[in-house]
Chain A
Amino acid sequence: MAIDAYIILSAVLFSMGVLGVLLKRNAILVFMSVELMLNASNLALVAFARQWGGLEGHLFVFFVITVAAAEVAVGLALIVAIFRTKQSINIDELHQMEG
């Protein structure tokens, strides 16, 4: 099985994540799209690790997953905090500052 197929799949998923981040208005959905991007990167890493027969890719994925967990925790805490203040998590309403 050619590894390229996996890379193309991961690129498709990554692009969908990018679109989600740029087009979604709900902050939680934006975070989910970021998770989708990270997941696509992980898929590429695992596929490459299989191609090279080395475990560096697996270790990288492990760290990405851990960092993603930390990121999600902080991000959701930010959402909760901002929701308490503004009663909204619509990103378009985050425009106290203009310039």
Chain B
Amino acid sequence: MIENVLFGIVGIFAVFAAAMMLGSKNAVHSALWLIVNFICVAVLYLILEASFLAMVQIAVYAGAIMVLFLFVIMLLGAERLPVGESVRTYPWVGGAALALVLSLVIMLSLVILFAGQAETTPEPVNATAQLRLLNAAIEGTEETETVAMEGEATQPVVTHVDLYVNGELFADDIEAGHATDFTEVPAGDHTIAIHAAGDATPLLTSAISLAPQSSLTVIVRPTADHALVVDTLNDDFTPVQRRNGRVTVYNAFPGVGAISIVRVNSILFDDSRNLDILVSNLAQGDSASVEIPEGRYEWRVIEAGREEEYRNTLAEDALLYRLPDIEIERGVSKLQVLAAETDAVSGQVRADLIDGGNLVGDAAPNFGTPESVGGLLFIDYLLPLQLVALLLLAAMVGVIVLTHREDSQPKPSRATRRKVSRPLTSVIAAQTGTDVSTNAPQLPQPTQDPVGD
């Protein structure tokens, strides 16, 4: 709401400043009003979350460019044109101006009319959410392997699953330990169903509710008795502090109970100074989100409740598993799912992390920041960037060519020197008497000597 009010005030002021710029008789006043207009637009940029551009707008546009304008106005003394007609006298101007402005106004009113009609239908951008599937079933288990359920017949262990949303296939044959990419789905309530890969009957069903612009990860995890459970996790896109990255840990490891995770800052010094407790007492099916500085870390899984003890004594019996190194990137949210994996050789179950990928959705946390704009500038927009560089070079050359013109005059320096030297001789002549001045006319004589005869 405050945005709307701010927009109204700033917008009206921007139009007013533009009108004053056009109306001022004095060019300096016009330039100053234009600066006001530019600053209003910069504020609008801020409302529109374009922080970098707002900065550039004020520094480059309102600052550098307008200073240039003011400088030239003052340099030329061109504040006021002599009084005369207020309208230009080109024959074509009147008609062209009228035609252009009329067509623009017509276009504008058409857009307004249509925009009014279109308001009944919700904007497509706002009405979607993102959904993905992450399969945290025990990795490495053979598909054919069976497990005896208590008091029941054996049933196969499911490692590959399909996800159906509202009865339609959403993700096909996702292997254990893998995640799909986010896919846009309409916001609202949906029914999801997990099938064993290729199987028509659902294993599990669940109802989910998607808020607009939200992102949801559907996690399939095993229980201690090798059945599957479906869980959902809302992904967090909100901005993180500078130089930090966010990591969300989800515990999908069956059979151990609650765990804690510590991170090792340096593999060189394996002592308490280098151990940070990342997450403590995370029960199965729970998730925790932490912001940590960017960098590469080793993680270790510790029995819940013994993390302090491990940090102080490095008691080996508290250490459950060592995990592979994890890279935390600045400004990026990361989902890590602690899952079980069967070792292909020993057949033992060990812990592994499933990388849920970097969560940079449409509503990226760094929308409009210098970093994001700069990144694009040097990668996707390399060509226009180089072209702009060439353009500035050409403009520099051009400005020099246009304003530095003394050289083109045929040697004015010699002419001025001659002018100076003549008064000098006359001064000398005046001082020394008539001898010099009478000699002076004789100087050209050698050229008149009859050499050519």
What residues make up the interface of A, taking CB atoms closer than 8 Å to B?
A: 1-2, 4-9, 11-20, 22-26, 28-29, 31-33, 35-36, 39, 42-43, 46-47, 49-55, 58-59, 61-63, 65-74, 76-81, 83, 89-92
A32 touches B34 (CB 8 A): yes
A51 touches B125 (CB 8 A): yes
Residues of B contacting A42 with CB < 8 Å?
Answer: 41, 53, 57
**A41 to chain B: closest CB distance in Å?**
11
B50 touches A49 (CB 8 A): yes
Given A13-B14, A23-B97, A58-B50, output 7 extra A-B contacts at Cβ < 8 Å: A28-B72, A29-B27, A51-B123, A54-B362, A63-B381, A63-B384, A73-B68
A46 touches B76 (CB 8 A): no
B57 touches A47 (CB 8 A): no
Chain B residue, CB-CB nearest to A53: B362
Residues of B contacting A14 with CB < 8 Å?
Answer: 104
**B292 to chain A: closest CB distance in Å?**
27
A4 touches B112 (CB 8 A): yes
**Segment 385-430 of B: residues with Cβ below 8 Å from A:** 388, 391-392, 394-396, 398-399, 402-403, 405
Interface of A is mostly: helix
Residues of A contacting B86 with CB < 8 Å?
Answer: 23
Q: How far is the CA of A49 from the CA of B362 in the complex (A)?
A: 12
A74 touches B27 (CB 8 A): no
B41 touches A58 (CB 8 A): no
Which of B49, B373, B399 gathers most chain A CB within 10 Å? B399
Q: How far is the CA of A78 from the CA of B377 in the complex (A)?
A: 31
What residues make up the interface of B, taking CB atoms closer than 8 Å to A?
A: 3-4, 7, 11, 14-15, 18-19, 21-22, 27, 30-31, 34, 37-38, 41, 44-45, 47-50, 52-53, 56-57, 60-61, 64-65, 68-69, 72-73, 75-76, 78, 81-82, 84, 86-90, 93, 96-97, 100-101, 104-105, 107-108, 111-112, 115, 119, 123, 125, 362-363, 367-368, 372-373, 376-377, 380-381, 384, 388, 391-392, 394-396, 398-399, 402-403, 405
Chain A residue, CB-CB nearest to B71: A76
Q: How far is the CA of A22 from the CA of B403 in the complex (A)?
A: 27
A-B pairs, top 4 by smallest CB distance, nearest first, are A22-B97, A70-B395, A77-B402, A77-B399
Given contacts A23-B88, A28-B27, is CB(A77)–CB(B384) below 8 Å? no
Chain B residue, CB-CB nearest to A76: B72
B399 touches A46 (CB 8 A): no
Residues of A contacting B123 with CB < 8 Å?
Answer: 51
**A77 to chain B: closest CB distance in Å?**
4
Given contacts A6-B48, A15-B101, is CB(A55)–CB(B108) below 8 Å? no
Chain B residue, CB-CB nearest to A94: B90
Residues of A contacting B100 with CB < 8 Å?
Answer: 18, 22
Given contacts A23-B93, A43-B44, A81-B402, is CB(A33)–CB(B22) below 8 Å? yes
A2 touches B115 (CB 8 A): yes
